Amino acid sequence: MNNYSGLIQTIALYALPVLFAITVHEAAHGYAARHFGDNTAWALGRVTLNPIKHVDLMGTILIPLLLYFATSGAFLFGYAKPVPVNFGALRNPKRDMVWVALAGPAVNLLQALLWGIVFYLLLGAGVTEPFFLKMCQGGILVNVVMFVFNLFPLPPLDGGRVLVGLLPHRQAVLVSRIEPWGFFIVMALVLAGVVSTYWLLPLMGLTYDLIDLVLSPLAALVR
């Protein structure tokens, strides 16, 4: 019974932040691709803020639920439906794929800042309702995790595409060949604790420091 109660509370707190985080992340990829010459996502209606277009039944709902019950909430993982991008249609494929890949994590960092601003505005307005304050904190956490995790330098994650775009041609081809197995390699590294220990936690700490620095003037005003 406690598991179900905890699950309901978790869903209530994180539903809105997660939907915003994945929707804007995927839409940003599509918008950036269109800006640089590829209309694939636009033609398929994926450059949209409608979350239904980006939610993947297995990756966004079923896998996180199964992991929640299997690990008692200690480990959660999920993914959205990737926006299709034809990198060959970009005006400068090797250079532009970097910007298309960075667009998703960039808007997650922006959303983390926006949730932080809302948090301090609520405090400044005298709002003490824990639900709304915890939702803002959840919004920051979700977006910081998405920002850092997606920058992990292994295809098909955004960081892997950035790496392919920055490397010389020969090395870029070698790295890109990992992509068909990249998801399974990343999952194995996640389950082994490598990603969290050597990438996620250290970079999340730095990202939180950056957010605190940017929001420090607003935080000082409401104290």
How would DSSP label each residue in 151-173? Answer: TSSSTTSHHHHHHHHHS-HHHHH
* Rounded distance between C-alpha atoms, residue 83 and residue 42, angstroms: 10
Whether residue 26 lies in the annotated active site: yes
Of 18, 26, 120, 147, the catalytic one is 26
Spatial distance between the Cα atoms of 201 and 197, rounded to a whole number of angstroms: 6
Tokens 């990829």 found at: 29
The count of other CB atoms within 10 Å of the CB of residue 38 is: 24
CA distance 147 to 112: 9
Residues classed as catalytic:
26
